[in-house]
Each structure stands twice: as C-alpha cells, then as structure tokens.
Amino acid sequence: MTACRLEPCIKLPLSEEKLRESVDKAKDWTLMHGISKRSMKNYSKDQVQLLPFTLIPSSFPQKPFLIVKNVQVLLNQLIHKVAYDKEFLTNSLKSTIQTDSFTAKLFRIYETVYEEGFSQNISLGLLRSDYLLHDDCKIKQVEINTIAASFAALATITSQYHKYILGELGYTKEANERIPENNAIIGFCEGLVRAWELYNNTEAIILFIVEDVTYNISDQRFHEFQIRQLCPKIKIIRRSLTSLTLEEVKLGPNKELIVANMIVAVVYYRSGYELEAYPTEKEWDIRLLIERSRAIKCPSVQYHLAGTKKVQQSLAQSSVLKKFLKDETSVARVQEIFTGLYTLDFNEDGEKAIEMGISKPNKFVLKPQREGGGNNIYNENIKTWLSSMRDSQERTAWILMDRIYPPLQKNYLIRAVEDPSLEDNFDLLEVITELGVYGVIIGDSNNIIVNKQVGHILRTKASSEDEGGIVAGVGALDSPYLIS
C-alpha cells in the first residue's frame, strides 16, 4: 500500500569504518550543540542525553516543500479567523463537547471569558503545520498545532548539524545548496518578543507554563536563551499549572496577571494540551484565571480550540474555506493540502463515514481530540472501535481521516545508548518523514499585526511505526535535503 521510494542524499550503506567515524563525530556534535533531553530512566538536572536524530538529512522533493512553506501564511490567517469566530467554533464543537470532557472544559473557559468580555484582544500564535508526502509528490496536512508546538530550536540546530556531517562526508557544496535555511527559533522568539512589546510594560515578564518534570528541556531553554539575546530586558519564569497556587497567581486592578508579585505580559504554554496537566479542578481554575487576565496568551483558549482535530475536520468541508479566505486562489491553495476528513456525528455523513471505516480500515486513521501522539487508531482496530462506538454518543468525540502513505527511504537512526550491554545504538532503517512548517501570527479581532512563515522541521521514524514521538524515543530529528 506504500507509495514509491526516495533515494537517500548520499550512497548508503556507508562502509563500516566511515560509519563508525561519522557516528562518533555526529553524537559529539549533536550532544554538544544541544540535541538533547533529560533522561526518563535516570532523571537528573546535571545531565542531558542525546535525542534521537538521523545521521544524514532525508531527501524531500522541493516542489511540495515550497508549496507548504508558501501556504503557511494562509493557514496562519485561517486559524486566526476561525479562533475569532464564535459561531463557527461553537457549531464545529457542539457535538464533541457533549462527550469529550477535556474539550468541553476548554470550551467552558472560552464561553466564560467571551461573555465577560476579553481583557486582552490580542492572541499570539506559534503554530506548526505537519505534513506527509502522499503518492510521491503530493503533500497532505496531518494536523496543525496551535499549542506547545515544539522543536523550533532543535530543528534549527539539526539543519546546522546536517550541513556539518555532509561536509565531513565530503559533500559541502551539495549541503549548502540543498539544505534550506532554517531559523525557526529566531522566528518563534521574535514572535514572543513582539507580543511582549505590544503589552507595553517594560517591567513585565514572560511566563512559560511547563510540565512538572520537563524532559524536552533543551528545546524549551533555547527559547529562553534566544529571547535573552533578542531583548535582554525580558525576564522569564517557568511554572507548571500544578505548582501555581491561587495565592501566587492573582489578577490586578486592571486584570493584570500577577505571578510571584510580577506582572506577566505573555503566557507561553509548553504544557496544558494534555489531560495530565490538570489533575484537579485547581489547574482548570488557574487556566481560567490566566484567560481572564490582560496577559497575551500563546495560545489564547480560542486558538487552542481552533487547533482541535474536530475544527480541522470542519474546515475540510469545501464550502467552509470560502467563508474565511476571500479569494478563490487562496481557497484552492489550502484545499490542495487537505486530505479527506470525516465527521462521526449522528447524521448522514457520519453514518457514511462509519461504514467506510469499517469496510476499509487500512484507508483511514481514527483520531480523538487529543494532542501529543500515541492516541490514534489504525488498521483492524478501527473496525473494532467503530463497531463498538457506533450507537454511542462517544463517537462524536472522534474524527475519521484518510490515511496517508508516504514514500520510504533509507537513513541511519541514532539514539542514546540506554542498555549498558550495548556499545552503540544506531540502525540503517526504512524510514518515513513528516515535515512541519512553523508559522507566527499575532492579531486581534480586527487586525493581523504579524503573519509569517519562519522555518521547518523534519521528523523521521521507522516505517514500521504508526506514530513517532521524538522525546518518547520513537521518532528522530531530521532535516530536509531538497531534491528535484
């Protein structure tokens, strides 16, 4: 069922000797430049370990790469308009919030601040739209992330690493020509700094909302370091929703968000998209308090909702894009990157989708309203799930999506050695790659102030894996090597 193959950018396999030498250099370069995380097995604040990465950049056709790089500003605009359209969000999520309690809680917060009137009209979006190649040269969107879109920093470093290693292997010229410029970290941090400036209080700080224990520490810290370089005035603090108490977080007389006696200009969520971030009602109360405040949120709750799979599915209906994108060319350009997405609501379309999924499970992916990987259902399991849910309200919390079968290629995946009996941990594998494009958007209900495409990432996994989290150790950081 898989489409065709892509050739690797250099001849593989490498000789045993060349491979050993390259892997040694590669591990030292990447570790010393921050392609790392905290160990899950042996957590220590004194140590980081390698994140998985590919030895060489993976081949990626130039045409679809440019198509999605260029469409990013339209997607930014689309998400922004959707987020500021109460009627559309409400209609899209109406059935989902009856069964999905997480989305329902977010929606409740949204309705509350909407009814009270927003204290802050501006939203900051740091987005990442993810894609798989399909049938060789077409490219299709997997999803768009509006909260905690990760790896802008490590993607930038990975592009630099791949230039280095191709140079080591004797391909400096090709590396310079074929590995596109990537400054995602600067783009994201300029977005955060711009939002901080718009808040217009030089004493105010940026608050990162993080997990209780952060494994993906390097990517997050590089954002802090970059902001310090771009604007030395800005102080950054990190807190988890669980660690914040209602005594520590307050609203000031003009709805300023005050944390540890400092006014917060921008709240940047690197957590909060997952159930685990809200173990008790208190964390939801804190989220509501933050939304009520004058701080600029990345994302605001309406941006968070605009990034749900259910909204993605609503947008894929052909008539809908016309409402948000004025000219036909823009509609066609966005339509081109969408694949089939189907509602499972109790209506004619929903019944049709249930039938399709049960009769041809290999052609689809079944998705709940969750983020962070590992939640989707594939293959024969789709049959089982759809059959058991078909008469239950539960099904409206899910969507069905056409399965994309990307081309295979070969690459070496390198990982930290966690098993002491192993000397090294790398394999030449059949892999598939997922491209992410980063976008920055700042605006309010009337104006868009900033709208940019700022960089990209490739995430690569063995073709045998359905899903591949990088921090979980399945996927690997990669960068595209453009081929014609």
- Catalytic residue numbers read 128, 143, 145, 150, 309, 367, 371-372, 459
Distance CA 148, CA 79 (A): 15
* Residue 405 C-beta: closest distance to ligand ADP, Å: 7
Distance CA 195, CA 300 (A): 13
434 near ligand ADP, rule: CB under 6 A: yes
306 near ligand ADP, rule: CB under 6 A: no
Stretch that binds ligand ADP, among 176-184, 284-292, 316-324, 397-405 (CB under 6 A): 397-405
Q: Which of residues 107-136 bind ligand ADP (CB under 6 A)?
A: 130, 132
* Residue 92 C-beta: closest distance to ligand ADP, Å: 17
341 near ligand ADP, rule: CB under 6 A: no
> Closest CB to ligand ADP among 142 and 277?
142
143 near ligand ADP, rule: CB under 6 A: yes
Q: Is 371 annotated as a binding residue?
A: yes
477 near ligand ADP, rule: CB under 6 A: no
79 near ligand ADP, rule: CB under 6 A: no
Q: Quick one: tokens of 468? A: 């591949």
Which amino acid, residue 320? V
Q: Is 340 annotated as a binding residue?
A: no
Q: Which of residues 19-58 bind ligand ADP (CB under 6 A)?
A: none
463 near ligand ADP, rule: CB under 6 A: no
CB atoms < 10 A from the CB of 187, how many? 19
Q: Is 369 annotated as a binding residue?
A: yes
Of the residues 35, 165, 305, 401, which one makes contact with ligand ADP according to CB under 6 A? 401
372 near ligand ADP, rule: CB under 6 A: yes
375 near ligand ADP, rule: CB under 6 A: yes
Of the residues 197, 467, 472, 482, which one makes contact with ligand ADP according to CB under 6 A? 467
Stretch that binds ligand ADP, among 255-263, 277-285, 391-399, 400-408 (CB under 6 A): 400-408
142 near ligand ADP, rule: CB under 6 A: yes
Q: Is 45 annotated as a binding residue?
A: no
> Closest CB to ligand ADP among 147 and 321?
147
* Residue 201 C-beta: closest distance to ligand ADP, Å: 34
404 near ligand ADP, rule: CB under 6 A: yes
> Closest CB to ligand ADP among 90 and 376?
376
Q: Is 379 annotated as a binding residue?
A: no
Query: By the criterion CB under 6 A, which residues form the site for ligand ADP?
Result: 130, 132, 142-143, 365, 367, 370-373, 375-376, 401-404, 434, 467
Binding-site positions for substrate: 128, 220, 459
